[in-house]
Amino acid sequence: MIHSKRIRSTTSRYISRLLLAGFMLSATVASAVIHASTPADPFGSVMWKTMVDTYFTGGDVVFDQRVIVSAPKSAENQMHVPITVDATGLENVKQIVAVADLNPIQHILTVRPEQALSFIGFRLKLQQSSPIHVGVQTEDGTWHMGGALIDAAGGGCTAPAAAHSVSNWMKTLGETRALVRRDSKGDARMTIRMRHPMDTGLASGIPVFYMNKMVVKDDAGGVVAELDLFEPVSENPTITLKPSVGNESSVLKVSTRDTEGNEFAFPLSVPAVLAQ
């Protein structure tokens, strides 16, 4: 028993040394690339370089006014800080990645709008005042960046979810409210609100447990949008998307999954555009 432990620890030391060497090598290469093409951060984030190295790789990084990030200047409730990203001015969008630079877990979500406008509304838990960066990657690999600075009192990620104040919160897990509307231009917009504690694992005594996947498909089974959600997304995730589904009425199919493998699926009717 003692013997095998020693072997394991020697092996793991060896592996970690290998990993470290590999990491240092890749860090050197990556930083060379970054110095060539990373613009200064208008939000003055001390984490900017790390954010680019970690989340916005594989293409040039440019700040672009077509990435409109709406956020309050100050977090009224750091458990629910609303963000709306509108990048509908950009063509050929591959994915949208949102990060909170100074959160203990930075990656908020990634959305791939396959048959949807480049638009998303969501809410996040903010641990302290922080820059938010949103990268919109187009097919050519370029990251078009936008962002916001949000002032906050602190405590969003390490505070327990409100759900834990009631003992039977598992009963309502996955309970869903949703609506689909047409706006004045006829564009469809869907808002989904699902009960889930979205536990970060950072609140004392509460293990990590969050909804990590959401897929929206159209009538024919084609993917409308795919979302990877992470720990910072607020309790009871409330997501707004703009599916591109034409003017007729149709039925979207939404499926979600959490980190415990619970799966939830539901249909969502899209009304037709009213004839003028």
Partner 1 sequence: MKIESQQRRTLLKMLGAGCACCVCGSANARLLKYPLHATEIGSKTWAVHGESSHFNLENGGNIVNVGFVEVPDGVVVIDTGPSKRYGQALLALIEKTVPGKPILRVYNTHHHPDHCFGNQVFDPTLIAAPQGVIDNINEEGNAFADNMYRLVGDWMRGTAPVAPTVVLDAATEEVGGRQFSLFYLSGHTSADFVVRDDTTGILFSGDLAFLYRAPTTPHADIATWQAAIDSLGALDRDLILPGHGPSDSRGESLAQTSDYLAWLEDTLAGAVDSGLTMNEAMQLPIPDGFASLNVVREEFERSVVHLYPDLEDQLMPLIDVTR
What minimum distance in Å lies between the beta carbon of 99 and partner 1? 18
x/- letters, 135..174, toward partner 1 (CB under 8 A): ------------------x--------------------x
109, 110, 111, 112: CA torsion to nearest 10: -170
Q: Which of 76, 139, 248, 260 binds partner 1 (CB under 8 A)?
A: 76
What minimum distance in Å lies between the beta carbon of 29 and partner 1? 38
CB 234 within 8 A of CB 198: yes
CB 44 within 8 A of CB 148: no
What minimum distance in Å lies between the beta carbon of 15 and partner 1? 40
**Residue 254 φ then ψ, to 5°:** -110, 135
Q: What angle do CA 59, 110, 61 make, to 5 degrees?
A: 20
Q: Which of residues 35-74 bind partner 1 (CB under 8 A)?
A: 70-72
What minimum distance in Å lies between the beta carbon of 268 and partner 1? 7
SS3 percent helix, strand, coil of the chain, rounded to 5, is 20, 40, 40
x/- letters, 108..127, toward partner 1 (CB under 8 A): -------------x-x----
123 or 133: CB nearest partner 1: 123
CB 245 within 8 A of CB 270: yes
Q: Which of 51, 97, 111, 180 binds partner 1 (CB under 8 A)?
A: 180
The 10 Å Cβ neighbour count of residue 267 is 10
CA distance 59 to 41: 17
49 or 66: CB nearest partner 1: 66
The SS3 assignment for 218 reads coil
Q: Which of residues 225-244 bind partner 1 (CB under 8 A)?
A: 236, 238, 240
Q: Which of residues 185-224 bind partner 1 (CB under 8 A)?
A: 189-191, 193
CA distance 47 to 45: 5
Q: Which of 48, 143, 209, 264 binds partner 1 (CB under 8 A)?
A: 264
Q: Which of 52, 83, 161, 198 binds partner 1 (CB under 8 A)?
A: 83
CB 225 within 8 A of CB 113: yes
The SS3 assignment for 153 reads coil
Residues forming the site for partner 1 (CB under 8 A): 70-72, 76-77, 80, 82-84, 121, 123, 153, 174-181, 183, 189-191, 193, 236, 238, 240, 262-266, 268
